[in-house]
Homo-oligomer: A and B are copies of this chain.
Amino acid sequence: MGLIVQKYGGSSVADAESIKRVAKRITEARRAGDDVVVVVSAMGDTTDELIDLANDITPLPPSREMDILLTAGERISMSLLAMAIANLGVEAQSFTGQQAGVITDDSHGRARIIDVKASRIRQALDAGNVAIVAGFQGVTEHTNDVTTLGRGGSDTTAVALAAALDADVCEIYTDVDGVFTADPRIVPSARKLDRVTYEEMLDLAASGAKVLMLRCVEYARRNEVTIHVRSSFSGREGTLVTDEPAVAEGEGHMEQPIISGVAHDRSEAKVTVVGVPDVPGTAAQIFETVAAAEVNIDMIVQNVSVAQTGLTDISFTLPAVDGPRATAALKAVQEQVGFESLQFDDTIGKLSLVGAGMKSHPGVSARLFAALRDAGINIEMISTSEIRVSVVTRADQLDDAVRAVHTAFGLDSSEGEAVVYGGTGR
């Protein structure tokens, strides 16, 4: 008999019928003999509706009150799910983040879990109950204030509970079958991955794959929690995220495949600082300014200096939504830094090739660039890490780029077996 943590997102508990369907799946797991802890998000669009309500009241809701408001969503879904399970004859108890012992810092709206004191959950399991826990929320240690963990917070709650309870696996139920070699909406022949390493999943998440949030994967890696990403709409096996690399089929079962997948991201923009004096310290000034505006930058390219003028251009990418804040901050220091002008471009796309195997395989970048050249796609920026190569293209060429690269690295499924239900591995 094992211990399973299951996490269901908002689309899996969107209405009474969905809640009953999820309840059935949970009772089956319980009746199979495992202890089951379930982490649940708010129903469907509840969180967005609560945000709209707050915006009707005030343009700047205090973050402490916003957190209290938003946690009402999980309170509703978790109690309804516990009722649905009880209705199927299995004992269930729901617990708020506080009752489940999810202790966080006091950064309202984006709190970080600092401890999980799961004694009440243990008690519930020992008494034979299924424990339903509100995702996305916690409580501060000393002031007992309610906090929320920000986007993707419920996944993190699930992984944190799995770590605290030493669960055998943390099952993240979603509306796709698992992690794919590319977004199946763009590449219909994309294949579901049976297994990826934490490192690959981190790079995929950082590169635009939305199936798991970065922080949740980080938490899992740090605490060695095995994640199983799978669909709540089917009984299929999904994708395991562990520290053991996958083995390539037909390659002697000892070598891992070079590439796990092709991720893409349309949410970034590019800022180019034009005519920057090419003297020591200028780049530092620019990026200190952007950092002070609390903008996270991603890729950076500095052109070779033009000898006659002593001037250069510096380009960097950042989340498009942070564009106005970054450019305003830079304009304020234009005279001091001495650059000529700023360009802002939010029609870019980013493609990333991720695979732990590329560490030991030179030539991956060259093959990537050749595939893009053959497809007639111009590369605007390049950045590489040990297990990832990213390039920036025009936004309207991104889909073609993803397909070309997916094919060039032999990722296409021969059977075209990818099954997509909606949200997908974007």
With known contacts A72-B75, A75-B71, A94-B68, A62–B82 Cβ distance under 8 A: yes
A78 & B68 in contact (Cβ 8 Å cutoff): yes
B53 & A76 in contact (Cβ 8 Å cutoff): yes
* Residue from A16, A78, A83, A99 having most chain B Cβ neighbours under 10 A: A83
Closest to A50 in B: B76
- Any chain B CB within 8 A of the CB of A87? yes
A93 & B75 in contact (Cβ 8 Å cutoff): no
- Any chain B CB within 8 A of the CB of A56? yes
Q: Which of B60, B65, B83, B93 contacts A57 (CB under 8 A)?
A: B83
- Any chain B CB within 8 A of the CB of A274? no
Chain A 32-75 interface mask (CB, 8 Å, partner B; 1/0): 00000000000000000010011011111110111011011101
Closest to A59 in B: B87
With known contacts A16-B53, A57-B20, A144-B99, A80–B69 Cβ distance under 8 A: yes
Chain B nearest Cβ from A138, distance in angstroms: 15
B69 & A57 in contact (Cβ 8 Å cutoff): no
- Any chain B CB within 8 A of the CB of A131? no
Closest to A15 in B: B56
B53 & A65 in contact (Cβ 8 Å cutoff): no
Chain B nearest Cβ from A75, distance in angstroms: 4
Chain B nearest Cβ from A181, distance in angstroms: 39
Instruction: State in angstroms the CA–CA spacing of A296 and B296 once bound together.
Output: 66
With known contacts A68-B94, A99-B144, A58–B84 Cβ distance under 8 A: yes
- Any chain B CB within 8 A of the CB of A79? yes
Instruction: State in angstroms the CA–CA spacing of A80 and B53 once bound together.
Output: 8
- Any chain B CB within 8 A of the CB of A371? no
Q: Which of B62, B65, B86, B99 contacts A65 (CB under 8 A)?
A: B86
User: Which residues in B have their C-beta under 8 angstroms from that of A62?
Assistant: 82-83, 86
Q: Which of B75, B82, B120 contacts A75 (CB under 8 A)?
A: B75
Instruction: State in angstroms the CA–CA spacing of A58 and B16 once bound together.
Output: 10
Instruction: State in angstroms the CA–CA spacing of A73 and B19 once bound together.
Output: 20
Give 14 A-B contacts (CB < 8 Å), ordered by A residue.
Answer: A16-B53, A20-B57, A54-B79, A57-B80, A61-B86, A65-B79, A65-B80, A65-B83, A66-B83, A68-B79, A69-B75, A69-B80, A69-B83, A72-B75
Interface set of A (CB-CB < 8 Å, partner B):
16, 19-20, 50, 53-54, 56-62, 64-66, 68-69, 71-73, 75-76, 78-80, 82-84, 86-87, 93-94, 96, 99, 120, 144, 146
Query: 5 smallest A-B Cβ distances: which pairs?
Result: A58-B87, A16-B56, A69-B79, A68-B79, A72-B75
